[in-house]
Chains A and B, each alone.
Chain A
Amino acid sequence: MPKPNLSAHPTEVVKPYDFDHFWQEIMAEVDSIPLNAAIELDPLRSSEEVEVFEVKYDSLDGLRIAGWYCLPRERTKPLPARVFYPGYISEPTLPKSHAAQGYSTFGAAPRGKLRSNAAFNPGYPGLLTHNINDRDHYGYKGFYIDAVRVIDFLLEQPEVDSDRIGIQGSSQGGALTLVVSALRQQVRAASAGAPYLAGVVDAFKLTRTYPYEEINDYLGIQPEHSSAIANTWNYYDCFNFAERIQCPIIVYIGLQDDVCPPETAYPLMEKIGTSNKKLYEYEGHGHDANHHEHDHVVDAFFDDQLKPARS
């Protein structure tokens, strides 16, 4: 049987008329919250080449959010920055090796991740459906904002060149990359692998694999919440953020991805606002999205866009 045309899958995502207003209000609130950033050297994790700092900053709902911040010990001029956003179940990255290449690097740990889970800890499974019926209190609201605040942190750091900030991640990290590059125009380059949270109302019908399976689980016991879930997700779906993305961006997917269905990547690419965008499709790959080989493409992309001293 011939394979279906992945790029022709229709989407049921709708952009609410008040999508922009919804996020404008949230961002106004966010911008009124001082970061109160604390930066503490971690001697155990630091090396001869790289200093590692544990960072804490304030975010929405009064939560204190953690992150790993790495700097090359040899630094004289302002550095380009790379932010690494985590996957759904993965631990936040401690990106020392990229700092050794001349970047300031940040491994984000949004709420619910270890070290950011004292006041918010819906668990895994759990995060995807936490308050999913309520767009104003949905778990991903604060989670997205925690990711945005990483950019605000970097913009406050004197060693960071604010015109050379790049962000990246795969799966949920890819989703956060899309959202943050839409909400913070200071982002100059972005790389999203196997993007999650794009076309959510389509995706959970295309796969039985977690995390999307959390929605199927939820609807299995509360089917009457189907439209409420769709309504909430219309305010959070990466599709609806995509047109705001103006920085150069690369996206890569595996065509046999059972976690984040590749069908959802094509409408996403159409919606991304910038013309400086490229999709890499990898036949024979699943949710790994061929990162083993593609990581070189990502590194070359950021070296070209952000020009670290040692590239």
Chain B
Amino acid sequence: MKPKDFDQFWAGIESDLNSVVPEPELKELPIRSKPQFTVYGLWLSSVKGYRIFAYYSVPKGEGPFPVIYHLPNYGSVVHIPPFEERCKYICVALCHRGQRLSDEPFAAAYPGLLTLGIEAAESYIYREIAGDCLSVMEFLKSREEVDRRRICLLGGELALWTAARRSEAAALHYTPALHYNSLKRASQTSNYPLEEFNDHLRGSASSRLSVEKTLSYFEPVHHAPNVQMPTMLVEDSVGFCDALFEAFAGPVDRVPFQHSSYRDGVRQANWIADKLDNGQPILPAHWC
């Protein structure tokens, strides 16, 4: 159930973010730059003044350029965006607090991060992580080389939450991940990372109601009504996203996850190219 103070909770994150001076710092990483693009390390302050890191790659040539903003998956390492994408788009890949390169002073544990502070929404680590995601959007909007009308968000719930709070993004490519229908899905598996929820509840069965309440602030179904931009929703299996699909405010292309990094990757690249520049993507040689 959507909490009554849902909007207030998320406004609180925005308020915390607004109280921080971001102080962005860009430093070229010559080893990662190529004739086609320049790669920078980006550091900026997020919620509570925490300094976070992101890779920021800008194509050579005259901008402004469309942007692919990679929101991170669950794990300590964030890859530099693909070479082929970097040739054509500004690419930004965030390392949220706790992930490598954003792990001072807080280094996330895996397993562990998924339930850190989960007893209350205000203390749940993903409140601050959501702030990290939003702070990069503010950075992008401040840059002259960025075409602000052509920003695509790419990822799981971190991308969805960002899309729900930043309607100026042009497109959302969203694959439901760990915060979609979490406890029900966790009850059907013993595999990590979802097993982290089971571990937590096994050790503290009495906390179930508070965990459910915390997760309700992050539940995608409650965020989708705020997403108006064109969205690609990648569905794990038939019927997996019925309620979620209906909840989106904007147009949604609903497609099945094909369990193929090649087929899913080609489809993703084509969809993003269509939304950002009506053009053809550059694909890895083995995909052509």
**Chain A residues proximal to chain B, CB less than 8 Å:** 43-45, 47, 50, 89-91, 93-94, 96-97, 100, 114, 123-125, 206-210, 213, 217-218, 220-221, 254, 256-258, 261-262, 284-288, 290, 292-293
Contacts and interface: CB of A to CB of B under 8 A. Distances in A.
B204 to A, nearest CB: 10
B77 interface: yes
Nearest to B101: A123
Interface string B72-112: 00011101101110000000000000001100000101110
B31 interface: yes
Contact of B190 (A89, A91, A100, A288): A100
Contact of B286 (A114, A207, A288): A207
A59 B203 CA distance: 33
A237 B109 CA distance: 32
Interface of B: 30-32, 34, 75-77, 79-80, 82-84, 100-101, 107, 109-111, 189-192, 195, 198-200, 202-203, 259-263, 265, 284-287
9 contacts: A94-B192, A114-B109, A114-B110, A125-B80, A207-B285, A208-B82, A258-B286, A262-B286, A290-B260
B77 to A, nearest CB: 4
Contacts of B260: 254, 284-286, 288, 290
A262 B84 CA distance: 19
A209 B284 contact: yes
A258 B287 contact: yes
Contact of A90 (B75, B189, B286): B75
Q: Give chain A's interface secondary structure class.
A: loop
B175 to A, nearest CB: 14
A123 B78 CA distance: 10
Contact of B83 (A93, A125, A208, A285): A208
A255 B57 CA distance: 29
Contact of B262 (A94, A286, A293): A286
Contacts of B203: 43-44
B194 to A, nearest CB: 11
B287 A124 contact: no
B154 to A, nearest CB: 17
A93 B75 CA distance: 12
Contacts of B30: 221
Contacts of A258: 262, 284-287
A97 B286 contact: no
Instruction: Report which residue of B100, B259, B286 has the largest number of chain A beta carbons within 10 angstroms of its beta carbon.
Output: B286
A89 B100 CA distance: 11
Contacts of B192: 93-94, 96
Given A97-B190, A254-B261, A258-B287, A44 B83 contact: no
A257 B34 CA distance: 23
Nearest to A99: B190
Contact of A91 (B76, B191, B202): B76
